[in-house]
Copies of this chain bind each other. A is one copy, B any other.
């Protein structure tokens, strides 16, 4: 199993190298045939050569490295993450990673909410433009575009996964009262697909009302399916309810090809980059999601146990309540993995 590792920018370049030894150790323990190759895509290359995702990248990944571990992208020198958009949205769309799975466990709950976000279309379709009068933009348009095909394969995959994993309820988050065309397409397909999974109870909620209820009390939610932008916003609210971005990771998957990208939800955090204090928990959780995806459930479980235990020690980073660094935290994780 060959993994493409893209550390990326800022703390991405710290947490990703920090978690790789854990991956290697798990590989030895569980007899997994792992290898990886590091790709230097990110801000530095963009600034030097204006290259985000190199032209041959998608072909290379699809054929040789269908499993991708990404750190973080974002650099204060590059407005609005132009390079990050090129790389991250390029990978999501180019490899058709249309399912983004962002589970989150609200503080005080013992069960994760299974959030699935469509990852390639909607307002992220890249369709739009600007009409100028002279040097000034007069009208700007971004189009939210959804094909039935993508909504259908996305929802079918989500509902099957939820149903097979014993989930009972699934909520469609939409805004068809104000954004009617894509909203109705989602509702129609949701209702049709739901009929195939008689054990799942479905409900539909407007995105504003959903966010209101999620913040007040997340406990009634179980599975949640949402379009690209709504899923983006919900996953950050989920991270806040979890107690911080330091813990959240996500998997972007194309179920048909098996291509998949794993990443912490946090950004490149330029404010703390370079000081060795970034919390590697989310990056390690991305590795656990990757092991799940590859079918190595015992290895994933072992990593999660070690992480949870290490997070309770003083070696954990300050955001977890410890006094440690990226290094001391991962050393604690390694000690636990070695004992296993």
Contacts and interface: CB of A to CB of B under 8 A. Distances in A.
Interface in A152-194: 175-185, 187-188
A80 B177 contact: yes
A136 interface: yes
Interface in A172-218: 175-185, 187-188, 207-209, 211-213, 215-216
A25 interface: no
Contacts of A80: 176-177, 180, 183-184, 187
B235 A208 contact: yes
A232 B182 CA distance: 18
Interface stretch (A4-12, A108-116, A121-129): A121-129
Given A130-B185, A207-B233, A212-B236, A177 B144 contact: no
Interface residues of A, number: 57
A48 interface: no
Number of copies: 2
Interface of A: 80-81, 84-85, 89, 123-124, 128-130, 136-149, 175-185, 187-188, 207-209, 211-213, 215-216, 229, 232-233, 235-237, 239-241, 244-245, 267
